[in-house]
Structure 1
Amino acid sequence: MTTLGTASAGPGEMDTGRLEVGETRDGTTVGLPCAVIEGASDGETLYLQAASDGDELNGVGVVSRVVPRLDPAELSGTVLVVGIVNYHAFQVAEHRNPIDDTKMNRAYPGDDGGTSSERIAATTFDAATRADLILDLHQGSTSQMIDEVRVRCGRRHRLHDECLELAKTFGCGYVLDQKGPEGQLARAGPDEGIPTIDPELGGCVGWDDDSIEAGVTGVFNVLRGYGFLPGSPGQEPQTRAKGFDQYGSPAGGLVRFEADLGDRVSAGDRLFEVTTPFGERKARVTANNDGVFWRTRRLPQVATGEYVCSVGTNVDAY
């Protein structure tokens, strides 16, 4: 019998429930939606979570499509799922937890006696570290971004190769292999000896069906590639970037992009221009280095110095 919060399942069973993480301001218990899928056969454990940033909903879309398709009778091992991590931010469609103004994916491994976000991080980290593999589903917030997977432990970490292999198995086509900030689950998990990746499934307001389907395919690639389900993942070579060049606007006005997401760009290629409301060009920005056009702001209006786009750099294939 495997239990997560109030969800409990024996071999060949599935159950859903709530994982208690505290109380709201009126004293109501906060419970994160969770699920246990216990395979009919023995095997490893996969932990899957979504929406640690409250406006990143594509991961929730993935969970809502993956869980109904999991047949415990066909599964070897166990899948633990927390469908919505940042409960308070999700309720108000915000990125950060409004209770303590914290970005949840900077709070791991958490503190069970700390702030709201630290307590949620501690509870979900306790669940995650019961597993052999961790998938932490994200998206590029409300920016526009390619579907990619992030390996955040750093290339000198003892688990780097295992995390990179997990990213390749997930198979979005693009991988950012760059050490992440302190407090990310994709950094804290490997420190506990658990391969962990951070799929960033596009970027949008609400959710995007194409990116959700890329995430669904990725989860099932992992389930097949690591023996939870029969079959083999459809692995293809991945494009890996080891860094980012970020570009701000040299002037205020309206942005017109001259490259599309996923385009290969060379140093000196035009990325965007800034115009007046009457179409008069005020500035043009070119790439500093070769790379892949990775991410852009969503709204066209910018102030001087405001973020506009990112190019993935130091690119190779593996």
Structure 2
Amino acid sequence: MGASIFEFDEQKVKPGHRASFDLPISRDATGSLVHMPVRIVHGAEEGPVLLISAAVHGDEISGIEVVRRILAKVKARKLRGTLICVPIVNPYGFVAWSRYLPDRRDLNRSFPGREDGSLASRIAYMFRTRLMRRADFAIDLHSAAIHRYNLPQVRVSPDCTRASELARAFSPPIIMHSKLREGSMRGVAMDEGLEMILYEAGEALRFDDFSTRVGVNGIMRVMQEMDMIDLKPTKRKIIEPLESTRSLWLRSPRGGIAAIRTPSGRKVHLGQQVAVVRDPTSTEESIIKSPIEGIVIGHSRMGVVNRGDALLHIAQLGEPGIYLDPLTEERLSGAMLDEHEID
């Protein structure tokens, strides 16, 4: 059945057409108007509305390239439904090469937002009321913090059945079933009745073609699963993703020079050496061993570390209850936090 006109920001987008919008946020310190770019592809046929967002953290630029390639691939005349893309949710952080807004607030901890709140709160409110409420499903794109790398992975709430199905259709190397965080976009999406998956891949301020291709291919498979597009048959086997519900960070026991033995994507065994930290002025060194069976889903790119710095992020794959130390169970049972959020 042919689609009807899609109305957005008091404008009409005809079926089989594209439209570009720049939603005004505020004026910066110079008086220049700051916009949030929105790109809409409205299909010729009826179907669901998919929202894709990137750069909620301004320095996480890899998702921007994913969105750009998706917009280049999707043809409006062959699309069933509507694609709403927001390549840069946080333009302030993007131009400043920063994760945060000018007031140092984290936009992804500012939802649901307020119309008369802080800058972060106002942006969150606008995104929630003008974009999230238009969607049937959403995909938010992220990367690791600066000087760290994330293996391409999808995070989904274990309570979201449809999101879990679409996460498997995405087919990343691993799916992390993680709890929702207070103030996050994914958390407020649940309150709004909108299911969402979060794609994590690569490193802040860096483009990584592998992470980009996994993201683009995954989104296209999600769109096919949602019956929005038809993909050409392929002889390539789609690998079933690993799935995990718990993970932990391994930290440096001392300051020194770090060498990662098992980078992201490698499976590790209980007691396996995964990193070493050496004293730069002597032959002393500390060996770090994995306290669990799992797979490395993130690692530090820093060669020089201090005591307590995060080295490796490992997702549990093996049988629970067998660990090298009694603190491991407590660490695994905690919330799945990004490194910058961990004390």
TM-score by length of 2: 0.85
Contact 1:7 1:35 in 2 (8 A): no
Which of 148, 153, 158 lines up with 2:153 in the alignment? 148
- Show the counterpart of 2:179: 179
Contact 2:59 2:204 in 1 (8 A): no
Shift in Å at residue 209 of structure 1? 1.3
Shift in Å at residue 6 of structure 1? 7.7
Percent of aligned pairs sharing the same letter: 26
Q: Deviations over 1:156-214 (max 9, x none)?
A: x3xx2222112111121211111132122122212222220000122253211111111
Count of residue pairs brought into register by the alignment: 310
Task: Mark the CA change 1:138 to 1:279 in structure 2 (over 3 Å): closer, same or farther.
Answer: farther
Task: Mark the CA change 1:272 to 1:67 in structure 2 (over 3 Å): closer, same or farther.
Answer: same
**Local SS of the residue matching 1:256:** strand
Task: Mark the CA change 1:46 to 1:106 in structure 2 (over 3 Å): closer, same or farther.
Answer: same
Shift in Å at residue 8 of structure 1? 4.6
Matches within 5 A, 1:43-62: 43-62=47-66
- Show the counterpart of 2:258: 255
Matches of 1:262 and 1:241, distance apart in 2 = 14
Task: Mark the CA change 1:3 to 1:92 in structure 2 (over 3 Å): closer, same or farther.
Answer: farther
Contact 1:7 1:34 in 2 (8 A): no
Contact 1:251 1:282 in 2 (8 A): no
Shift in Å at residue 231 of structure 1? 3.6
TM-score by length of 1: 0.92
Which of 118, 123, 128 lines up with 2:132 in the alignment? 128
> Is structure 2 residue 228 aligned with structure 1 residue 223?
no
Task: Mark the CA change 1:7 to 1:306 in structure 2 (over 3 Å): closer, same or farther.
Answer: farther
- Show the counterpart of 1:305: 308
Matches of 1:90 and 1:175, distance apart in 2 = 27
Matches of 1:191 and 1:178, distance apart in 2 = 16
Which of 58, 61, 76 lines up with 2:80 in the alignment? 76
Matches of 1:67 and 1:8, distance apart in 2 = 19
Shift in Å at residue 304 of structure 1? 1.1
**Local SS of the residue matching 1:129:** helix
Task: Mark the CA change 1:258 to 1:267 in structure 2 (over 3 Å): closer, same or farther.
Answer: same
Task: Mark the CA change 1:111 to 1:315 in structure 2 (over 3 Å): closer, same or farther.
Answer: farther
Matches of 1:192 and 1:166, distance apart in 2 = 19
Structure 1: which 5+ residue stretches go unaligned? none
Q: Deviations over 1:94-149 (max 9, x none)?
A: 11112x21111111222121111111111112202211100111111331121001
**Local SS of the residue matching 2:69:** helix
Which of 268, 274, 283 lines up with 1:265 in the alignment? 268
Q: Deviations over 1:26-83 (max 9, x none)?
A: 3332211111111001111001110000110110001111112221100011111111
Farther-moved stretch of structure 1 (238-247 vs 180-189): 180-189
Shift in Å at residue 90 of structure 1? 0.4
Contact 1:146 1:203 in 2 (8 A): no
Matches of 1:171 and 1:110, distance apart in 2 = 32
Matches of 2:67 and 2:11, distance apart in 1 = 16
Task: Mark the CA change 1:311 to 1:40 in structure 2 (over 3 Å): closer, same or farther.
Answer: same
- Show the counterpart of 2:30: 26
- Show the counterpart of 1:239: 242
Matches of 2:12 and 2:96, distance apart in 1 = 29
Matches of 1:177 and 1:50, distance apart in 2 = 21
